[in-house]
Amino acid sequence: MKESYQAYLPEYDIYLYNTGEAQRAYEFFGCHYIPKLRMHRFCVWAPNARSVSVVGDFNGWDIEKNPMEPWKNGVWTAFIPGLADGDNYKYFIYGYDGSKVMKADPFAFHAEVRPNTASKVWELGGYEWHDSSYMKRRLKKNILKDAVSIYEVHIGSWRTKEGYRFPSFREVADELADYVSDMGYTHVEIMPVAEYPYDGSWGYQITGFYAVTSRYGTPQDFMYFVDKLHSRGIGVIMDWVPGHFPKDEHGLAKFDGTHLYEHENVLQREHPQWGTLIFNYGRPEVVSFLVSNAMFFMDKYHIDGLRVDAVTSILYLDYARDGCFVPNEEGGNIDGHAVEMLRRMNSTVLTNYAGAMTIAEESTAYPMVTKPPYDGGLGFTFKWNMGFMHDTLDYMKMDHYFRQFEHNKISFSMYYAFSENYILPYSHDEVVHGKKSMVDKMFGDYWQKFASLRALYAFMFAHPGKKLMFMGDEFAQFIEWDYKKQLDWFLLEYDSHAGMQRFVKDLNHIYTAYSALYELDDSWDGFRWLNVDDREQSTFALMRMSGEEAVVCAVNFTPVVREDYRIAMPQRGSLERLICSDDEIYGGSGVMPDKKLQTEKLALNGMPYSVKITLPPLGAVYYRFTLKSKGDGKR
């Protein structure tokens, strides 16, 4: 290797990578143009390979023309002139086991459209961002105290264009930004967009962790997507998948002829349910690869948050193994190396990008998921509340009569509501694989299904915790989600679906307008049950509070109108109706409680006051509560 090249191979970067401390390994590894040399530098970690060469369009895929040289600690390098953005390439690796395989670049920024699998030479510069004011505002935000209403989207099936196999990031961005802003959502969460070979995995089986999928355009097109949403004040959360990767030959599997990224022990290597490989979190270089990957999307694409997929499968050594697993050093089932990787990722991302968030999809009672690492926690900002989701959906599937016997399915979540910082998710996982769509899960006839779903959404928005809804749920898509086609937008021609969309829109705007509904999601200071034990009538009433502001929500989960239904109130005051799910404009029956109400000095449920409300069938109503005078009792 020429001595002049060595100045462009900083040893410290390799040291950080080898020790698991790298945070921006993408600045060194992969393919980068070096202006002073007028060459592209290629760097790949393949410590056990017998030889490596760069092959591509530019050399006729000849393994002899551009051999790589071993540099330091398992890193191979090459400098090649005359390349341009869009040139296809791979690494030809003569592996330790004698295998000869062409691998995609683990750090490539772009790739061919599937089914082709080559990496592409590509620079990430050239896009002019316009979101500086948005990013400055984000720095000052305390996301835990903010309204967060997330619209989960699969880019390829939200809305497609005639004549296109895949929509482009730019096309989707222009329409999605307008739609989400109008609907009142605060964030968009996109299902994985890192490069993946199999459409049916929805992006959850990744081969190119640093390459935004070419299905929808270029890296710069994705930058436009994020920038456009930021221009409307909408945050962008991205699903991130550090739990596993597929066995495709061009991917990370057995990368240098050894189990480099995955576990060597066969009992730890594979996910039995998914047929994928598990990262070896005990290998420092793997930690560097993953932490740098999380940082990459925050750095280069201005992402506002990462929702980490399948955290349960990452944490538990016995996940889906029917008791056959390799225990940790203490004989337990927690992967300590995975715990440390997650802590490092969260600490690194959240200390470098103030105002950003990380979200754990974790379905067990693993402790302190959203507590800081210095207190023994994992360090996530939020955790999905899977218990709330399962309990409420189980309840809503139930015959109205039998709900009285399962009353606690609605109230139980408040026993642990403040143990973590929660997001209440009705995600894509709940509308596939025979689970039915959200509206079709609801018990009853056609009208009752829609009424029930409106009531459920109203309860969710009043319950402590941030909100998440999958695309199509907002207008009651009636069939299950199909990634191969766009949502059934034609349903908006029907009053019941248009009414549902209007209701969700108004619900979002009320949610973001009243801090009582979101500011104190983490303590009893922001929540109080008013009626919680009326199981015979399947009704609930609660109050959300913040400072002097309060919102009352009452829900009737039966098809029976409750005339003059009395709700306990802690203080004397007046109530002004904000929204009623049974309003005819939403497709309701038109049973409307009074617009304004006054509390009465009549004790109920241990509170000195109460108020009479007409509760609509399978309906919910919000009231703004105003005190008549200060100091009259305590909240």
User: Would you name the residues annotated as active-site residues?
Assistant: 309, 361
Question: Can you tell me the distance from the alpha carbon of 444 to that of 458, in angstroms, rounded to the nearest whole number?
Answer: 18
The one-letter amino acid code at 266 reads: V
CA dist., res. 569 & res. 603, Å (int): 8
The answer to whether the beta carbons of residues 90 and 103 sit under 8 Å apart is yes
Sign, CA dihedral 265-268-273-279, equals negative
- DSSP letters along 500-522, please? HHHHHHHHHHHHHH-GGGTTT-S
Q: Give the pairing of strands 194-195 and 270-271.
A: unpaired
Tell me if residue 79 falls in helix, strand or coil.
strand
Q: 409-446: string of b/e by CB count within 10 Å (b at 16+)?
A: bbebbbeebbbbbbbbbbbbbbbbeeebbbbbbbbeee
What is the residue-wise DSSP string for 312-350? HHHHBTTTTSTT-----TTS-SB-HHHHHHHHHHHHHHH
End-to-end CA distance of the chain: 74
Two structure tokens written together for 340? 């440390």
CA–CA–CA angle 417, 423, 424 (5° rounding): 80
CA 312/CA 319 separation, integer angstroms: 8
State the DSSP string of 240-269. Answer: E--S-B---TTSSTTTTSS-SSB-SSHHHH
Cβ atoms of 461 and 467 closer than 8 Å: yes
Strands 208-212 and 194-195: antiparallel
- DSSP secondary-structure letter at 31? E
